[in-house]
A = this chain, B = another copy of it.
Amino acid sequence: MKFFIVKTVAETLDVIANHFHPIVKPIEVPLIEALDMVLSEDIVAGGQVPHFDRSTVDGFAVRAKDTYGASDSLPAFLTVTGKIEMGKEADQALKEGQAQAIPTGGMLPAGADSIVMIEHVEEIDDLLNVYRQVAPGENIIRAGDDVNAGDLVMAAGQRLRPQDLGVLSAIGITTVRVYPRPVVAILSTGDEIVSPDKKELAPGEVRDINSMTIGAAASQCGAQVIYGGIVADNYEAFAAKAYELFNQADLLLLSGGSSVGTRDYTEQVMQSLGKPGVLVHGVAIKPGKPTIVAKAGEKPVMGLPGHPASALIIFHLFVVPLLKKLQGQSPAQIDQRIRARISRNIPSAVGRSDYIRVKLEERPDGLWAVPVFGKSGLISTLVRSDGMVEIEANKEGILEGDMVSVHLFQ
């Protein structure tokens, strides 16, 4: 038998970070279709937002110095000379001793420098009694307060969230250049694997789980998925189908069996697709050791473990960052994992990263991560789990009560 020189989790992540990049040219899409896509260009504002001084309250536009010293007992008296309409310019400038009614969001008239809130005035006969003084700029958003012309509003590599689309709308951008959704093809292999729609299983047969699980996970990451079906453990058939899918996709995922024989096939098939070939053959991780990363031309090809729970854990660890790379997304600046306490001691072998499935529990003293045990072949353990906890390769385990980071399954 053959022993692989396995890489660590960090080394494997480095391979992914350094060998792959977006291989498809950016496309232009309407903003309305750009949610969750990744910008391929910097966005610089062409104008100001807002492009005029606006009131932030309902009230009266005034000159601040006309209100100085005003109080409940000694109000300032101003003459109301107009009413500003929403979305329109004032038809007259404001002079000393004058006020103009203004709604929230209304445009400040020339000559005014602040707004007195409606709660602090009273109109008595023809005079506006002002009971509070205001400072220049009070209750106003200035032109350019939100965005100034020339501002770098958003950098290439940003995944577009709802608020990002909002600020683009504000500056009048209605189409953006983004990286297209990568096409991910999935092929399951194994003589024992049959389609989920087979009603009665023969002895020894199991239904395909990974196509569905991995396909759904890839589409959550913004990929378009080609379901390649199932191919038997026959090198010719496997290689032919893999080649066909490889040509249609930006990333080919092979969900192999976990037997040595199948792993050998998978590796040979991956090598047959092109140079440089296999970059990572096996990772020091549990579960998920038989993970293979290859590159054929510029395209990535990955071999995932056959066990469904292992395959999904490997997807979260390695395929998610790979899909981000293929979409040109900037690496996350912060660790968005949830912190919780582990509910029991878990031993681990040094030199290997262990991933423990956990269920989160809210207890009076905080959030706890309760391990969900089960062999890596079991998919039901993942259904009962909220996420996974890493025990790093240099640790002999974690102790009950230790604070751990939980990578949530979405």
Contacts and interface: CB of A to CB of B under 8 A. Distances in A.
Interface of A: 1, 31-32, 35-36, 47, 49-52, 54, 56, 58, 85-89, 103-107, 118-119, 141, 145-147, 153-154, 161-174, 190-194, 196-199, 201-217, 219-220, 227, 233, 257-262, 306, 308, 312, 333-339, 360-362, 367, 375, 377-380, 382-383, 385-386, 408-410
Copies in the complex: 2
A85 B162 CA distance: 53
A284 B333 CA distance: 34
Nearest to A309: B163
Given A163-B312, A164-B383, A169 B335 contact: no
Given A167-B209, A190-B87, A375 B35 contact: no
Given A32-B215, A334-B361, A379-B146, A166 B209 contact: yes
27 contacts: A31-B196, A32-B215, A35-B219, A49-B379, A51-B201, A86-B192, A86-B257, A87-B194, A103-B259, A103-B262, A104-B257, A104-B259, A141-B378, A145-B378, A146-B378, A147-B380, A153-B383, A163-B385, A163-B409, A166-B216, A166-B382, A167-B380, A168-B196, A169-B208, A170-B206, A172-B198, A336-B360
B89 A163 contact: no
A410 B161 contact: yes
A50 B257 CA distance: 15
Contacts of A383: 153-154, 163-164, 166-167
